[in-house]
């Protein structure tokens, strides 16, 4: 019974957990389900359009993760300021988020304008399926040029959405996300295939639909926030000043810069892994695209629990309830791992079914299915390392998370993939399994770091 109480909470604990997690989970599930439908729609056009879109989305993934990492540094303080009841502190951290988001959008937008074509070419290699590389490049460029328009509204929406979630408002970002998803889904159907009198635009239609959906989501979140300022007092006076206190700026720079660098390097590492796998042929890129789109739908479970850990533990640390934070974190991690086991089993059931819905070569479908089996088997381990990351981050241990996350992938995963792809004749599935298995080292490291309790810190005392 003592062991059960150590890892399983009471009814009040799970009620608070679900109040935070469910809106985030629902939003993520719907978002990724629609992404799957989008992917299926593009997949009906052909393998080359699907591959071109997949490559560009892999590049945009780096931008998205840099926004997430840049805002997460300030978000650590947002959650703790809110836990402390310091609304002026929340305003300051939110203003800082704006600076980070806008600068990141401008830098990445410029990089994609100047270097988009050569970046796409890095993923184009001849394989056994005889796919058209130049056509894939053309589709990718068409998609990228339109998708540049979604970067700024995405960044602004993340500023508001992340702040609302860190301050306990998880329903509004979910509702805005659902609205955007419905807009995206309907417009995808109309614009990709040319319905209701519109021309069939293919990948350009998919990009236009995504841009309109991002603008819709951003408008809903921003307008709602300012219309409900009494409910969320930190919105009042947000733009009365552009000032960010030097003390906060310094602390966010110290704690947040490793997070920004971490997300940039980690996402670049994941993109490099995809590029390494692509050496074995464009059909590998297509299979990886199908696998990642499907697996992201199932990954929503531990992504949502990670966000829940950041919010719940961050607020407890900011309120000075350190021992309660330790106890609840242990139960949250146990919940995340147990949930991932169930989700992994479901993923195993669906793995052979979804790839067959794509209009692509049979070898692409077979490889995608095999990749999904590997991902499903690794899911409980990924859930634990993901929970460890968010726990360490909630206490401001961002240098450790930097080493734990991005330094790890560049030290172990990327070199291993490069060696196996270029120096051996191993099949791509064996290489993928070997690279994924390295995650077991992180499980051990995560357990050690959590046990040391160096993350149990109140960061927001004495910040003016």
Q: pLDDT tens for residues 381-413? A: 999 998 988 888 787 777 787 788 888 999 999
Tell me, what's the pLDDT at 440? Answer: 92
| pLDDT classification of 464: cutoffs 50, 70, 90 | very low
Spatial contact of 127 and 284, defined as CB atoms under 8 Å apart: yes
| pLDDT classification of 1: cutoffs 50, 70, 90 | low
Mean per-residue pLDDT, 367-390: 91
Start-to-end CA distance of the chain, whole Å, equals 45
Tell me, what's the pLDDT at 441? Answer: 92
* Res. 207: pLDDT tops 80: yes
* Res. 26: pLDDT tops 60: yes
Kind and range of the H or E element at 434? helix 428-437
Most confidently modeled range among 21-30, 46-55, 271-280, 378-387: 378-387
| pLDDT classification of 215: cutoffs 50, 70, 90 | very high
Spatial contact of 156 and 67, defined as CB atoms under 8 Å apart: no
Mean per-residue pLDDT, 425-448: 91
Domain borders along the chain are: 2-452
Tell me, what's the pLDDT at 108? Answer: 92
Q: pLDDT tens for residues 64-88? A: 888 887 888 788 788 778 877 888 8
CA 116 to chain centre: 22
Tell me, what's the pLDDT at 178? Answer: 83
Q: pLDDT tens for residues 308-345? A: 888 888 888 877 888 888 888 899 999 999 999 998 99
Spatial contact of 400 and 449, defined as CB atoms under 8 Å apart: yes
The Cα–Cα gap between 254 and 265 comes to 17
Q: Which residue has the higher pLDDT, 154 or 318?
A: 154
Structure tokens at 152: 């700024």
* Res. 445: pLDDT tops 80: yes
Spatial contact of 337 and 388, defined as CB atoms under 8 Å apart: no
How does the average pLDDT of the chain come out, rounded? 85
Q: pLDDT tens for residues 238-247? A: 788 778 778 7
Q: Which residue has the higher pLDDT, 299 or 4?
A: 299
Structure tokens at 379: 């899911």
Is 0.75 surpassed by the pTM of this model? no
* Res. 156: pLDDT tops 90: yes
| pLDDT classification of 31: cutoffs 50, 70, 90 | low
Q: What is the 3-state secondary structure (H, E, C) of the chain?
A: CHHHHHHCCCHHHHHHHHHHHHHHHHHHHHHHHHHHHHHHHHHHHCHHHHHHHHHHHHHHHHHHHHHHHHHHHHHHHHHHHHHHCCHHHHHHHHHHHHHHHHHHHHHHHHHHHHHHHHHHHCCCCCCCCCCCHHHHHHHHHHHHHHHHHHHHHHHHHHHHHHHHHHCCCCHHHHHHHHHHHHHHHHHHHHHHHCCCCCCCCCHHHHHHHHHHHHHHHHHHHHHHHHHCCCCCHHHCCCCCCCCCCHHHHHHHHHHHHHHHHHHHHHHHHHHHHHHHHHCCCHHHHHHHHHHHHHHHHHHHHHHHHHHHHHHHHHHHHHCCCHHHHHHHHHHHHHHHHHHHHHHHHHHHHHCCCHHHHCCCCHHHHHHHHHHHHHHHHHHHHHHHHHHHHHHHHHCCCHHHHHHHHHHHHHHHHHHHHHHHHHHCCCCHHHHHHHHHHCHHHHHHHHHHHHHHCCCCCCCCCCCC
* Res. 114: pLDDT tops 80: yes
* Res. 141: pLDDT tops 90: yes
Percent of the chain past pLDDT 70, that is, above it, reads: 95
* Res. 34: pLDDT tops 70: no
Q: How many CB atoms lie within 10 A of CB 301?
A: 24
Q: What is the DSSP string of 59-102?
A: HHHHHHHHHHHHHHHHHHHHHHHHHHT-HHHHHHHHHHHHHHHH
* Res. 301: pLDDT tops 90: no
| pLDDT classification of 279: cutoffs 50, 70, 90 | confident
Tell me, what's the pLDDT at 177? Answer: 84
């Amino acid at each position: 019974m003592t062991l059960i109480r150590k890892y399983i909470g009471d009814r009040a604990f799970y009620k608070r957990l679900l109040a935070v997690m469910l809106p985030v989970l629902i939003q993520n599930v719907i978002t990724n389900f629609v992404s799957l439908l989008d992917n299926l729609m593009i997949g009906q056009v052909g393998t080359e359009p699907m591959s071109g879109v997949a490559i560009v989305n892999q590049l945009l993934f780096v931008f998205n993760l840099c926004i997430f990492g840049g805002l997460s540094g300030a978000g650590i303080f947002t959650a703790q300021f809110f836990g402390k009841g310091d609304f002026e502190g929340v305003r300051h951290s939110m203003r800082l988020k704006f600076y980070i988001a806008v600068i990141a959008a401008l830098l990445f937008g410029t990089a994609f304008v100047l270097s988009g074509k050569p970046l796409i070419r890095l993923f184009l290699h001849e394989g056994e399926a005889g796919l058209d590389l130049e056509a894939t490049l053309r589709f990718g460029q068409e998609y990228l040029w339109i998708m540049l328009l979604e970067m700024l509204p995405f960044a602004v929406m993340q500023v508001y959405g992340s702040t609302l979630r860190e301050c306990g408002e998880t329903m509004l970002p979910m509702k805005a996300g659902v609205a955007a998803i419905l807009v995206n889904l309907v417009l995808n159907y109309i614009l990709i295939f040319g319905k209701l009198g519109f021309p069939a635009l293919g990948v350009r239609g998919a990009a236009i639909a995504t841009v309109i959906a991002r603008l819709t989501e951003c408008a809903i979140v921003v307008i709602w926030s300012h219309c409900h300022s009494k409910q969320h007092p930190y919105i009042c006076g947000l733009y009365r000043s552009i000032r960010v206190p030097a003390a906060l700026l310094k602390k966010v720079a110290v704690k947040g810069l490793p997070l920004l660098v971490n997300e940039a390097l980690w996402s670049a590492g994941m993109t490099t892994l995809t590029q390494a796998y692509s050496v074995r042929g464009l059909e590998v890129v297509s299979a990886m695209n199908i696998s990642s789109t499907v697996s992201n739908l199932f990954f929503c479970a531990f992504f949502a629990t990670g966000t829940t850990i950041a919010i719940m533990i961050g607020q407890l640390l900011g309120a000075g309830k350190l021992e309660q934070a330790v106890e609840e974190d242990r139960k949250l991690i146990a919940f995340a791992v147990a949930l991932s086991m169930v989700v992994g089993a479901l993923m195993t059931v669906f793995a052979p079914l979804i790839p067959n819905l794509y209009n692509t070569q049979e070898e692409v479908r077979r490889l995608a299915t095999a990749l999904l089996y590997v991902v499903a088997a690794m899911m409980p381990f990924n859930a634990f390392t993901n929970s460890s990351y968010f726990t360490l981050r909630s206490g401001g241990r961002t240098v450790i998370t930097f080493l734990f996350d991005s330094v790890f992938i560049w030290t172990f995963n990327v070199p291993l993939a490069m060696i196996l792809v270029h120096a051996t004749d191993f099949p791509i599935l064996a290489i993928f399994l070997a690279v994924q298995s390295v995650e077991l080292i992180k499980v051990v490291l995560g357990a050690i770091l959590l046990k040391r309790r160096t993350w149990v810190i109140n960061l927001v005392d004495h910040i003016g």
